[in-house]
Structure 1
Amino acid sequence: MFSDPKSRPALLVGCLTVLSLTVAISVLAITTAPTQQSPPATTASTDPAIASLHERGYNGSNVTVGVVDVTGFDTDHPALNGQVAATRTFGSNNGDVTHGTASAAVVAHVAPDADLYLASFDDVAGYRAAIAWLVEEDVDVIVAPVSFFGRAGDGSSPASRAAMSAVRKDTVFVAPAGNVARGHWSGRYDRTRNELLHFEGGTRNFLQGDTRSVRVWLSWDKSRDGDNDATRGATRITDDTESGGRYVLELYRTDGRQTELVARSSPVEGVSRTQRLVTRVDPGQHFLVVRGPSEATGDRLTIVSPTTHLQYGDSKGSVVAPATARGVISVGAYDRNARRIEPFSARGPTEDGRLGIDIVAPDRMSAIRTGESFVGTSAAAPYAAGVAALVLDAHPELSPRAVEALLETTATDVGPDGVDHAGGHGLIAPVRAVSTATNESSNTRLSYR
């Protein structure tokens, strides 16, 4: 069936190829580079900075690290070095242990004497329960290498609030910034054409790259009357009781002559003003449209996809929860072989104007001796958490704020001069951070509290 998105198609739901997830979250696990082009991956044993700290006796002794993941863990894997102290499951992980094991193994390699507390979950309630369990176990550091899409970017979402609660209870919390810098767009619904949002170059936002799976979230914040010139004189729709039906994403396939509707988004259960589109696609050109009211509303819309690049995208403000939470160490990904911040690594600021990225850390870690790289901010965050464990090994009395400030002030600038929204305060510097913590411990100064 072919249709023109410029006119509202009268299609039955059964005509759409729409896949829905059983949970309202997804992990930004890996953004892989082509295997044949990837340089040898780094392990702790081949990381000179980490190896030198181990030689000096900083191994994370007497430090506990909690890892929270949407997959399970292979607790018997040799890469975990027998460090697992306890595990809990909050929901079902369908038997998958790949991502969780890789994340825990990065921590284990960086801090080989730290005790690991591992928790898996499958929904927001499970995530919050996992955080509460780790806080109850009094772990020193929590790393959650997961991302929640379609959530508020100002730290007010339940996922972010759970992280902030842990920080307030004296736990260092580390989270990945996300891998969606190339799959992010944000702007006002202030230009429309036939009930379609008008992007910079038209109503069609083509997907870039070769993908067989498309996952996209659309969320919006209601604009107040009169806060945007585009809303003046417009008919305002102010009732949001529909919990997510004001705007809809539609995915089309085109061969240049005909256009076929492939999938339409649906509301995310339990999350207001959020739609999600998940589907498999055949080869060909695909584009997204956003369908909404016929007149401009001024509402701010955000599109985010972990699976594809957008023709009209903007990396600015692409950090995702829980890295948007206040007090959480938000970590971007850095490719040490290319000497650059990964192009997919999310950028700040947060919606409420904070930096968004605190530090960047190396990814492309061969964490579980598979010969393949573990790529993305999900790999960078466990590395940073491991370094935080080494810092606490050197100075156990440091507060979460002190650990964050120490990692930031000792980082190496890798972007534009000074602090910026891509690299934050810079690339994590393990030796400098631990040495500074050691000196402060010797001087009994807690200047970062």
Structure 2
Amino acid sequence: MTTVGRTAALLTVVIVVASAGTGLVGADVTHGSTAFVGGNAIPGYGDLDRITDGSGSSPATGSPSDREELERRSSGSVEAPVDDGTVRVGVIGSSFGDDAAVDGRVVARSRAGTARVGLVPGGRDAGGHDTAVASVVAQRAPESSLYLASVGYEPTPAEYARAVDWLVDREVDVIVDAGSYYPRTAEGMDRIAGAAERATDDGTVFVTSGGNTAQRHWRGAATEPGWLAFDDDGTQGNRLGDGAISGAVTLRLYWTGSGDYDLYLYRDVADGPDEVVAKSTRESGRAEAFDAVLPRGSYYVAVDVRDPGDGHVDLFAARHRLAHSAANGSTVAPATAGTDGVISVGAVRADGRLAAYSPADTDVRAAGTVTLPDGTTLRGTSAAAPAVAGVVAEMTAAAGEDELTPAEAERLLRETAVDGRIDPGSAVAAASAGNRTGDDASTADGSWVNRGP
């Protein structure tokens, strides 16, 4: 096995821990050579040559905050007169800068989150990224009015819910969120998804990116205590990144059922036992989580099964690829919501095939690359989600006084899609008042539950 030698740099490992927010807790550090943890020998990694090489890096699934804007804006809202003749679209993001593409279209802005060091993966400028998301909506639905809700760099579930509630209170027709959230607890994931579900209960369609996590997620099940196997060959370590990595690492482990699991991050060592550099070993709950800042080296993830329980396990590496990954089940909140009308969006390539980074089990798909009039290019499910939200806004306008329910919007998008990819013209035509009369309108109960693409 190819390994990285032990160096003094290992002693500079930093684990970032915060007491608030959706991540950054449960971390621990072991600097010494740990030969045994959890009663098991160090997991065997397997043949490194079996790592898939993929094709390029995944686009960002989120973006860091623009702290200057967060500090500049008040925590309240700034609102302009409302044009009741337009469709209202709420956009949730870390922060929003100023852009000519949305000038005159923004009715109100609000900030629910606070500036804090934390976790949202990706390296884009948040103001630019999130304003580009709003611009895609503006381009797709030129008659819409925009409501921008900033949630900050690392929103708590409560802050996120406040942003959603603020938009619902403004009676927006559609909400779009092109970010992905990795709470430190399973309950936090449920609360973020629940905020989206409550919006649909109030009649607002909620469109969310599926996340660019297909190559950064693994799902499986354990049958007995010991080190979790990531493949049929019994490989017990999941390589992080395509070779040596450094910098911030974010890992989340969620599971269903009554099991109990511990999460470990190992560094390969050439002249001795591999070393534990971070771990999360909570005594309760259905999640383990840690964030680490690491020196350059070769690392792998291991999961100690204390009790396999009766459910499945999801491992997310928010910033790096995993050698063993799975596209199914790789969405995170709020795309994990199960209510009809919360529409998760995957991304397709130019040839219509599912993008390598996109989850496979989203509700619909759209192009993963959108170019704005100013030449800005937005990629990933961050581009696909606002494009779908713009189509939903057009569908809402076409429906007129025969209001489009969230469940019906999702149904029409899916029924008119081609191989899972939305057909904007057909969706808008299907939503028009003239086509939604009689039995067609009365059967829009959202009773189907297939959540495949």
Matched, 1:80 2:102: yes
Aligned counterpart, 1:242: none
Residue aligning to 2:242: 209
What SS class does the counterpart of residue 214 from structure 2 fall into? coil
Task: Tell me how far apart the structure 2 counterparts of residues 157 and 33 of structure 1 sit (CA, whole Å).
Answer: 32
Output the TM-score relative to the length of structure 2.
0.71
Structure 1 residues 314 and 150, CA, compared in 2 at 3 Å: closer, same or farther?
A: farther
Equivalent residue, structure 2, for 1:399: 405
SS at match of 1:433: helix
One-letter amino acid of the counterpart of residue 446, structure 1 = A
State the alpha-carbon separation in 1 of the partners of residues 188 and 114 from structure 2.
27
Match of 1:291 among 293, 296, 304: 304
| Residues 152-174 of structure 1: CA deviation (Å, up to 9, x unaligned) | 99998111111111111111111
- For 1:354, the equivalent position in structure 2 comes to none
Return the match for 2:22 from 21, 24, 30: 24
The 3 A distance-change label for structure 1 pair 112 and 305 is: same
Counterpart residue number, 2:90: 66
* Pairing partner for 2:354 from 325, 341, 350: 341
Matched-pair identity in %: 33
Q: What is the CA-CA distance between 1:125 and the residue it aligns to?
A: 0.7
Residue segments in structure 1 that go unaligned for 5+ positions in a row = 4-13, 27-31, 36-59, 225-245, 349-356, 414-425
The aligned residue for residue 353 of structure 1 is none
Aligned amino acid, residue 86 of structure 1: A
The alpha carbon displacement at 1:263 in A equals 3.1
Q: Does 1:198 align with 2:210?
A: no
Counting matched residue pairs gives 361
- Local SS of the residue matching 1:182: helix
1:250 aligns with 2:264: yes
Q: 1:446 aligns with which of 428, 441, 444?
A: 441
Distance 2:85 2:257 in 1: 49
1: CA distance, partners of 2:383 / 2:23: 19
The residue matched to 2:235 in structure 1 has which SS?
A: coil
**1:97 maps to which of 95, 120, 127:** 127
In 2, Cα distance between equivalents of 1:368 and 1:216: 37
Aligned alpha-carbon RMSD (Å): 3.5
| 1:306 is aligned to 2:318 | yes
C-alpha distance in structure 2 between counterparts of 1:267 and 1:82, whole Å: 51
The change in CA–CA distance for 1:153 and 1:266 in structure 2 (over 3 A counts) is: closer
Amino acid at match of 2:364: I
- Give yes or no for contact 2:189–2:334 (8 Å, CA) kept in 1: no
Cα distance in 2 for partners of 1:399, 1:218 equals: 35
Is 1:361 matched with 2:362? no
Cα distance in 2 for partners of 1:180, 1:19 equals: 23
C-alpha spacing 1:173/1:296, structure 2 compared with 1 (3 Å): closer
- Alignment partners' CA distance in 2, 1:221 and 1:412: 33
Q: In the TM superposition, what whole-angstrom CA distance separates every residue of 1:130-173 from its partner, at most 9, and x where no partner exists? A: 11111111000011222233689999811111111111111111
Structure 1 pair 216/433, CA: closer, same or farther in 2 (3 Å)?
A: same
Distance 2:436 2:414 in 1: 20
1:86 and 1:118 in contact (8 A); partners too = yes
Name the counterpart of 2:211. 178
Deviation at 1:117, TM superposition (A): 0.5
- What does residue 139 of structure 1 align with? 172
Contact 2:221 2:313 in 1 (8 A): yes
**One-letter identity of the residue aligned with 1:18:** I
Change (3 A) 1:272 1:191: closer
Q: Do the aligned partners of residues 292 and 332 (structure 1) sit closer, same or farther apart at CA in structure 2, a change above 3 Å counting?
A: same
- 2:35 alignment partner in structure 1: none
**Alignment-mate amino acid for residue 433 of structure 1:** A
Does 2:417 correspond to 1:411?
yes
Ranges in structure 2 where 5+ consecutive residues have no aligned partner = 4-10, 25-54, 59-83, 117-124, 446-453
1:331 maps to 2:331 = no
Question: Does the C-alpha gap of structure 1 residues 136 and 321 become closer, same or farther in structure 2, counting only changes over 3 Å?
Answer: same
Cα gap change, 1:253 to 1:155, in 2 (>3 Å): closer
SS in 2 for 1:383: helix
Runs of 4+ displaced beyond 6 Å = 151-156
Distance 2:281 2:158 in 1: 18
Verify the 8 A CA contact 1:185 1:313 in the aligned structure 2: yes
Deviation digits for residues 9-64 of structure 1 (CA, Å, limit 9, x no counterpart): xxxxx8853223552159xxxxx9579xxxxxxxxxxxxxxxxxxxxxxxx96100
Q: Which of residues 378, 386, 390 in structure 2 aligns to 1:382?
A: 386
TM-score scaled to structure 1, two decimals?
0.71
Measured in 1, the distance between the counterparts of 2:115 and 2:133 equals 15
Q: State the shift of 1:331 in Å.
A: 0.8
Query: Quick one: which amino acid aligns to residue 229 of structure 2?
Result: H
Supply the distance in 1 between the matched residues of 2:132 and 2:282 (Cα, whole angstroms). Answer: 29
User: Is 1:276 aligned to residue 286 of structure 2?
Assistant: no
